[in-house]
Amino acid sequence: MNTFLLPDLGEGLTEAEIVRWLVKVGDIITVDTPVAEVETAKSVVELPAPYAGTVEELHGDPGTVVPVGKPLITIAAAAAGTPREAKAGSAGDAYRQEERAGSGNVLIGYGTGDGAAVGRRRRPRGPVVSGSSVPPSGNNPPKNPLVVSPLVRRMARDAGVDLKGLVGSGEGGLIVRRDVEEVIARRFETQPAGQDSRTGLGELRREPMSGFRKAVAATLSRSRAEIPEATTWVDVDATALVELRESLRSAKDSGPGLLALMARFVVAGLQRYPELNGFVDTEREELVQYDGINLGLAAQTDRGLVVPAVQNAHRLTTRALDAEIKRLTESARSGRLTPYELSCGTFTLNNYGSFGVDGSAAIINHPQVAILGVGRIIDRPWVVNGELAIRKLTQLSLVFDHRVCDGGTAAAFLRFVADAFENPASVFADL
């Protein structure tokens, strides 16, 4: 009687859920017959049996969670006496030998590999020299490698290791995990200088990260690590916004730019939904809202992306916003921004449409809690009053910290800004 224990499925996982059984009690199976599908936190895996015989017991119904190392299926050994049964028994013995040889619980579920079909059994072979890493000498024709674990076959296949060239260090010449690992390790030891060991490709260049890039990396990494972010977006008819911008032009005055108009709508939206204009005080477990808005504006420079902020944007008119945006943009390009201007923002507006793209899954500028992105404004077909028309369309995308508000608040803010794009005159009347 052999009991197949749930093997270590890798990635540090400690349990798996039985999805469905592929066999039933009383079925006669051979080595490598798929017996069950189990689901881990990573994937659904098909488990082949390491033993041949008759299914005696299934340890759990579909939906049962089985810890690693606990019984999964019990198989009654086939009666000895026939060559077919002897071969199956040999493969089952080899499975146990590999575990004793130091490969640990064997990862099952990657198929038999090397052209072996499901249910195929391997022939026992004569004695070999244990521990050798070279094939035996002589004129004997090559034999199939003695390897049972699907993990070992998978490792060898992924690394391009020819198992036919190995004689295993396990009992009876069984090829175990450490044999393949040794071949891979020796290969990396002789890796040419400047060649990446993972991909085998040469390195074109290496350059140290600048202090600026290190600071950006630290901020973005902290944002991804700490903030449970969510994204919501909407397509917007910005025709009226573009028309308003054009109407503000004159021979003597170019008028405020589109970004200034957008900034004005964002400020108005934050005043209505202040949850998005704050930060999370994790030490005191408090949600903080600012009394005022410093509007950050993402700007691409030769040094990289910077986010200077328009201080007290809530106190500025649209023309004053336009003037401050132009000043900050020029300072960013010339490298004259102050540390305070680069760090005082409370919310970020990112006009990535200037790069010719429609959308982006932006990263929140920690410790802020939200960022609004605006895609390019282009002519597209749009239904207006039941008829198809060509309109100026853009996409707004809001990424927000789900700790500070739920989707309803985020959607309401996004809809407010979208409505302002579509009907700016009515919004200005309320400001």
In single-letter form, the type of residue at position 401 comes to: D
| Integer Cα distance of 123 and 91 in angstroms | 8
Residue 59 a catalytic site member: no
Catalytic position from the list 59, 314, 366, 402: 402
| Integer Cα distance of 48 and 72 in angstroms | 12
Q: List residues bridging with 391 in a β-sheet.
A: 380
Q: Is 429 helix (H, G, I), strand (E, B) or coil?
A: helix
* Residue 24 neighbours by CB under 8 Å, 6+ apart: 55, 58
Q: Please identify which residue in the block is written with the tokens 């957008």.
A: 262
The tally of CA atoms less than 13 A away on the side-chain side of residue 309 is: 23
Q: 178 with 152: CB under 8 angstroms?
A: no
| Integer Cα distance of 154 and 116 in angstroms | 13
Continuous H helices in 227-377:
239-247, 258-272, 318-334, 339-343
Output 312-321 pairs: Cβ under 8 A, ≥24 positions apart. Answer: 313/263, 313/267, 314/267, 314/270, 314/271, 318/256, 318/260, 318/261, 318/264, 319/256, 319/260, 321/256, 321/260, 321/263, 321/264, 321/267
Estimate to the nearest angstrom the gap between the alpha carbon of 400 and the chain centroid: 19
Query: Which positions are annotated as active-site residues?
Result: 402
